[in-house]
């Protein structure tokens, strides 16, 4: 029996010998409009995820092995994009809230396993040069390999004694460090940092710092805002610009850095489980971190498939804790020299 194209007849999912026959649901039996409105993505994108994750989600050791990979993926996408396990989503595919939760866990771990496949800096020389060229085209800032910023994602309190996740607003959160390219593709995502840590401390302890300090910089740098400290590989704005060149540098820096701010806002718009509109993530910090990373992987895959996340409607989101910038001068004389040379060469 075919499912009507204007939606799912959930009773069909309950036919059989007294048990749920979950595999009755077929993607081809519903419209693209229905899939996008309910699960956030069109049919071909979901087919791609089934091909990508199907073998992992069909492992016989999975508790939810009776649920098809297709249904597991729909359940997870429904949660990521709506932020809810409530009956509307479960009823749409004919599974319980408990099964929804297991599906989200399975799909999340399958996506996290593939994070390095989809989130990474380019390595070959041509791709690196293309990265710089794309950034230069935005506002004339040369040598940019990525723009970096942090964003908080609200989580439930781990326990009464653990205050490390309490941010400046008194809320429990993860502080997530992200880097993206000029199109909004994520190049790095570290989603596990406790919300009490300021952005500068997160960066100081991050794998990203180790990566840039121990590997070749390819004659370029990241751009970060004033919550970070100037480094040889991280250009920050001048606190008090005085000369025309310094004003031009700051303007180009701000226009270029805006890409990461826009990207973080629109990731929240697509993945409502991160924006706090349905409440905090009701998981441990580790599992919440994996959900954030899974959404980052999906963000990059969606851009690969031509799904422009920036066309998504704006949405309200959890207010971000305000950083109290100390505006310290960098003690790194080499970093100061590099920024001054950049000013003289390109903005004078």
Q: Cα separations (Å) of 179 from 137, 208, 243, 337?
A: 18, 9, 30, 24
Query: Taken in order 94, 95, 101, 102, is the CA torsion positive or negative?
Result: negative
Query: What residues contact 26, with CB distance under 8 A and at least 6 apart?
Result: 3
pLDDT of residue 5: 38
> Of 320, 299, 40, which Cα lies nearest the Cα of 181?
299
Interval 223-244 mean pLDDT = 94
pLDDT of residue 32: 85
Interval 138-163 mean pLDDT = 92
Tell me phi and psi for residue 141, to 5 degrees: -90, 115
> Of 110, 328, 85, which Cα lies nearest the Cα of 198?
328
Name the helix (H) or strand (E) containing 252.
helix 244-270
Residue 323 has pLDDT above 80, yes or no: no
- Percentage of the chain exceeding pLDDT 90: 61
**Residue 86 binned pLDDT confidence (cut-offs 50, 70, 90):** low
Q: Structural domain boundaries of the chain?
A: 32-117, 119-285+327-347
Instruction: Identify which has the larger pLDDT, 38 or 263.
Output: 263
Out of 56-60, 64-68, 122-126, pick the least confident. 64-68
pTM of the model: 0.86
- Helix, strand or coil, per DSSP, at residue 257: helix
- Over residues 156-184, the pLDDT tens digits come to 998 766 889 999 999 999 999 999 999 99
Q: Cα separations (Å) of 228 from 152, 177, 241?
A: 16, 12, 17
Interval 292-304 mean pLDDT = 97
Mean pLDDT of the chain: 84
Interval 263-289 mean pLDDT = 90
Planar angle of CA 68, 69, 70, nearest 5 degrees: 90
- Over residues 88-122, the pLDDT tens digits come to 566 666 777 888 889 999 999 999 999 999 999 99
- Over residues 244-268, the pLDDT tens digits come to 999 999 999 999 999 999 999 999 9
Tell me phi and psi for residue 148, to 5 degrees: -120, 145
Query: What residues contact 94, with CB distance under 8 A and at least 6 apart?
Result: 8, 10, 13, 14, 20, 22, 25
Residue 22 has pLDDT above 50, yes or no: no
């Amino acid at each position: 029996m075919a499912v009507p194209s204007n939606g799912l007849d959930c009773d069909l999912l309950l036919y059989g010998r007294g048990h749920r026959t979950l595999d009755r649901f077929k993607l081809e039996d519903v419209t693209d409009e229905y899939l996008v409105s309910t699960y956030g993505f069109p049919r071909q994108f979901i087919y791609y995820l089934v091909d990508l994750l199907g073998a992992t989600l069909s492992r016989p050791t999975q508790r939810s092995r009776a649920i098809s990979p297709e249904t597991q993926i729909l359940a997870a996408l429904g949660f990521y994009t709506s932020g809810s396990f409530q009956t509307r989503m479960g009823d749409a595919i004919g599974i319980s809230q408990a099964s929804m939760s297991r599906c989200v866990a399975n799909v999340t771990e399958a996506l996290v396993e593939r994070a390095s496949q989809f989130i990474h800096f380019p390595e070959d020389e041509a791709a690196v040069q293309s990265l710089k060229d794309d950034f230069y085209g935005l506002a004339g800032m040369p040598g940019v390999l990525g723009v970096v910023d942090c964003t908080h994602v609200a989580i439930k309190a781990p326990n009464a004694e653990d205050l490390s996740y309490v941010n400046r607003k008194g809320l429990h959160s993860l502080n997530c460090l992200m880097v993206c390219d000029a199109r909004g593709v994520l190049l790095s995502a570290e989603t596990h940092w406790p919300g009490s840590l300021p952005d500068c401390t997160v960066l100081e302890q991050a794998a990203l710092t180790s990566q840039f300090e121990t590997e070749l910089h390819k004659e370029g740098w990241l751009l970060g805002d004033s919550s970070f400290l100037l480094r040889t590989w991280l250009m920050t704005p001048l606190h008090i610009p005085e000369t025309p060149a310094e004003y031009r540098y700051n303007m180009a820096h701000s226009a270029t850095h805006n890409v990461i701010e826009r990207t973080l806002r629109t990731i929240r718009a697509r993945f409502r489980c991160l924006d706090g509109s349905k409440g905090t993530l009701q998981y441990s910090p580790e599992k919440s971190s994996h959900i954030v990373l899974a959404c980052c992987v999906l963000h990059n895959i969606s851009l690969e498939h031509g799904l422009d996340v920036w066309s998504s409607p704006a949405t309200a989101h959890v207010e971000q804790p305000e950083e109290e910038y100390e505006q310290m001068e960098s003690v790194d004389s080499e970093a100061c020299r590099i920024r001054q040379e950049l000013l003289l060469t390109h903005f004078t």
